[in-house]
């Protein structure tokens, strides 16, 4: 326990505490002026909104991909399974450049989206696309082991009693998956909140429009506005911790319901 507390303090608690200490030197009036400026609020809305939307998309598509990889055997399954982990290993800046090249107005996919009036790159949609890319593996790798451990006898019993595949999934499989789905959602959401490299290229970085909070913090650091950067970081840290705490409590509650 002592080793755990010391290690956690050195790696997490002490560095985070310095952010609050630095912010305390600027006073409450200056803190609220920076934290609640129109540019800061716009960045918060985009960061949290896009992260939540990307995590929801990953929660749905991640379950589908995990289901296919767990329950079906097909040619190229090993390749698909390996591609799921690619965002883990790929540098985020490389991912951002690749996504921008694909979804730009002259990119492979972007040129067709533009024809139907959809601008992916350099828009809020581009931010969501990048966050979906980096967060997908968290859901798949969290749900997949649970699916593989579920006893198929229960699903087969439901099928023999006349349940359709959807009814079997809804009433037998999904309740057992809820804790894993919520965990995957939480991990994807947390990963998206702190993402910088893949978003900075595809978003266009337009203040009040496509500027995420991590980019705003970096901008203030480049301007040597350390107090402003730490003030925004404190707001981001506090809200993120509160949201993750709520989701973790929801996960614990869901796990208790499943165990019953």
Is residue 182 within 8 Å of residue 254, measured between CB atoms?
Answer: yes
Q: Are the C-beta atoms of 81 and 75 separated by less than 8 Å? A: no
Q: How far apart are alpha carbons 143 and 43 in whole angstroms?
A: 31
Q: What is the spatial distance between Cα 228 and Cα 181, in angstroms, rounded to a whole number?
A: 36
* Burial grade of 164 (CB within 10 A; 0-12, 13-18, 19 or more): exposed
Report d(CA 30, CA 200) in Å as an integer.
28
State how far the Cα of 202 lies from the Cα of 16, in Å rounded to an integer.
29
pLDDT tens by residue, the chain, 260 residues: 888 878 888 887 888 788 888 787 888 888 899 889 999 999 999 999 999 999 999 999 999 999 999 888 888 888 988 889 888 888 888 888 899 989 988 888 989 999 888 888 899 999 999 999 999 999 999 999 988 888 777 777 877 877 787 788 877 788 888 888 988 998 899 889 888 888 988 988 888 899 999 999 998 888 888 888 888 999 988 888 888 787 777 767 766 655 55
| 155-206 residue pLDDT tens | 778 778 777 877 888 777 888 888 889 889 988 998 898 888 889 889 888 8
- The model carries a pTM of 0.86
Q: CATH classification of 2-259, choosing from 2.60.40.10, 3.40.50.720, 1.10.540.10, 1.10.3720.10?
A: 1.10.3720.10
- d(C-alpha 78, C-alpha 71), whole Å: 13
């Amino acid at each position: 326990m002592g080793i755990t507390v010391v290690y956690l303090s050195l790696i997490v608690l002490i560095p985070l505490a310095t952010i609050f200490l630095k912010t305390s030197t600027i006073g409450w009036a200056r803190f609220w002026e920076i934290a609640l400026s129109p540019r800061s609020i716009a960045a918060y809305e985009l960061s949290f909104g896009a992260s939540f939307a990307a995590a929801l998309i990953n929660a749905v598509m991640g379950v589908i991909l995990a289901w296919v990889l767990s329950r079906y055997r097909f040619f190229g399954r090993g390749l698909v399974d390996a591609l799921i982990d690619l965002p883990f290993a790929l540098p985020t800046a490389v991912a951002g450049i690749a996504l921008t090249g694909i979804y730009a107005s002259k990119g492979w996919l972007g040129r067709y989206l533009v024809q139907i009036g959809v601008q992916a790159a350099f828009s809020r949609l581009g931010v969501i696309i990048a966050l979906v890319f980096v967060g997908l593996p968290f859901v798949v790798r969290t749900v997949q082991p649970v699916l593989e451990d579920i006893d198929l006898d229960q699903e087969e019993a439901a099928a023999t009693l006349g349940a359709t595949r959807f009814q079997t999934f809804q009433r037998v499989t999904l309740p057992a998956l809820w804790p894993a789905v919520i965990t995957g959602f939480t991990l994807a959401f947390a990963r998206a909140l702190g993402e910088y490299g893949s978003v900075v290229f595809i978003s266009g970085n337009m203040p009040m429009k496509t500027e995420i909070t991590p980019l705003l913090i970096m901008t203030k650091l480049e301007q040597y506005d350390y107090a402003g950067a730490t003030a925004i970081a404190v707001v981001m840290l506090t809200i993120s911790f509160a949201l993750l705490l709520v989701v973790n409590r929801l996960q614990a509650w869901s796990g208790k319901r499943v165990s019953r």
